[in-house]
Chains A and B, each alone.
Chain A
Amino acid sequence: MGALSCWSAGVALGCMGFADPAHGVNPWALDEQAAAPVFRRAVELGITLWDTANVYGGGTSEEIVGRAVRRYARREEVVIATKVGLPMHDGPGGSGLSRKAVLGQVDASLARLGTDYIDLYQVHRFDPETPVDETMEALHEAVAAGKIRYIGGSSMWAWQFSKMQHTASQHGHARFVSMQNQYSLVQREDEREMFPLLADQGVSSLPWCPLAKGRLARPYGQVTARSARDPLGQRFFGDVDRPIVDAVAESRQRVRSPWL
């Protein structure tokens, strides 16, 4: 399905948590040294889609990802995905999807990543302040300049995504190939409108929080070093459904791992 299916091993490496813990919203983040074994394992397993964002760790995640690409992989073998839209700084171009923001932030991301192109550039939410054709034209210009290979979206309402995609088509601009939306056993609302839209448009989903920040990966109520200091996790999944977590635990007793 779509351009993404041939890029990845079916799993993407989420790099939000590889950052300087002193910056950004994740005090549990792994610094560069702690992240090294995870990057190396990703390379060994053929997990080549590495997803970050300009905003993660105040830019430090992109710096760590860029150095990891150079240390542990070959640039052409990795699909570097990053994002633009969430606040990087005050003032013009510091957030949102204006022409100034998109074209300024893409250069800043390229500098932090230490590469001359980004494989997948994703808009980090919808920007109600910017006309959609301004955003799509700016993204297209970055594609035409060779700074971006593909573009994608992230969590928004289906009508917003449809509007952006349709506007790009109207003007012959680059269209989104991916949608990074929240999807897991405890958040399935995108099954109503977004997933049918993606299927119709030939756009692939790259779900975020597929394990509800670990809450679907361990028995209900069990605390980890990460979950104990994870304000975002508390906000999204503080009241996660015990019956769903229990159903996963029970199912795991019956389903055999293919490796055993």
Chain B
Amino acid sequence: MALVALAWVLGNPTVAAPVIGATSPAHLDDAVAALAVQLDETEIVDLESPYAPRQPTGF
């Protein structure tokens, strides 16, 4: 699942590198694999459509 969720983040052209809090080497393998994934338009719509505006957190 990380593959898809990270591929979506990487689709934003202003993103240089998501910060991965890996707790195992395999987490980094998954993250690097996401760099080669190009989500098509229907996948992006499916991933984005459940989102509703919310309060920003973590300030």
Binding site for B on A (CB under 8 A): 1-2, 4-5, 7-14, 16-17, 28, 30, 37-38, 40-42, 45, 47, 49, 51, 125-126, 155-157, 178, 180, 182-190, 195, 198-199, 203-211, 213, 216-219, 226, 236, 241, 243-244, 247-252, 254-255, 257-259
When C-beta atoms are compared, the residue in chain B nearest to A246 turns out to be B50
Task: Tell me whether A217 and B12 are in contact (CB under 8 A).
Answer: no
- Give Cα A153 to B59, complex, Å: 12
Task: Tell me whether A183 and B12 are in contact (CB under 8 A).
Answer: yes
A43 CB to closest chain B CB (Å) equals 10
Task: Tell me whether B28 and A38 are in contact (CB under 8 A).
Answer: yes
- Which residues of the other chain, A, contact B28 by a CB distance below 8 angstroms? 11, 13, 38, 41-42, 45, 47
Interface range, B side? 35 or more
When C-beta atoms are compared, the residue in chain B nearest to A255 turns out to be B4
- Give Cα A5 to B17, complex, Å: 8
Q: Scoring B residues 40 to 57 as 1 if CB is less than 8 Å from chain A, else 0, what string do you get?
A: 000100111111111111
Task: Tell me whether A8 and B16 are in contact (CB under 8 A).
Answer: yes
- Give Cα A13 to B21, complex, Å: 7
- Give Cα A218 to B19, complex, Å: 18
Task: Tell me whether A180 and B19 are in contact (CB under 8 A).
Answer: yes
- Give Cα A217 to B55, complex, Å: 22
Q: Contact partner of B1 among A4, A187, A218, A258, CB < 8 A? A: A218
- 6 interchain residue pairs of minimum CB distance: A41-B25, A204-B16, A210-B18, A243-B50, A258-B36, A216-B5
Task: Tell me whether B43 and A2 are in contact (CB under 8 A).
Answer: no
Task: Tell me whether B16 and A17 are in contact (CB under 8 A).
Answer: no
Task: Tell me whether A156 and B21 are in contact (CB under 8 A).
Answer: no
Task: Tell me whether A207 and B2 are in contact (CB under 8 A).
Answer: no
Task: Tell me whether A244 and B51 are in contact (CB under 8 A).
Answer: yes
- Give Cα A41 to B55, complex, Å: 36
Task: Tell me whether B47 and A12 are in contact (CB under 8 A).
Answer: no
A21 CB to closest chain B CB (Å) equals 12
Q: Contact partner of B5 among A7, A42, A185, CB < 8 A? A: A185
- Give Cα A178 to B29, complex, Å: 25
Given contacts A45-B28, A258-B37, A259-B33, contact A12 B17 (CB under 8 A): yes
B13 CB to closest chain A CB (Å) equals 7
- Which residues of the other chain, B, contact A205 by a CB distance below 8 angstroms? 12, 14-16
A185 CB to closest chain B CB (Å) equals 6
- Which residues of the other chain, A, contact B56 by a CB distance below 8 angstroms? 155, 182, 187, 189-190
Task: Tell me whether A216 and B59 are in contact (CB under 8 A).
Answer: no
Q: Contact partner of B24 among A38, A49, A198, A199, CB < 8 A? A: A38
When C-beta atoms are compared, the residue in chain B nearest to A254 turns out to be B43
Task: Tell me whether A11 and B46 are in contact (CB under 8 A).
Answer: no
- Which residues of the other chain, B, contact A183 by a CB distance below 8 angstroms? 9, 12, 15, 18
- Give Cα A226 to B27, complex, Å: 13
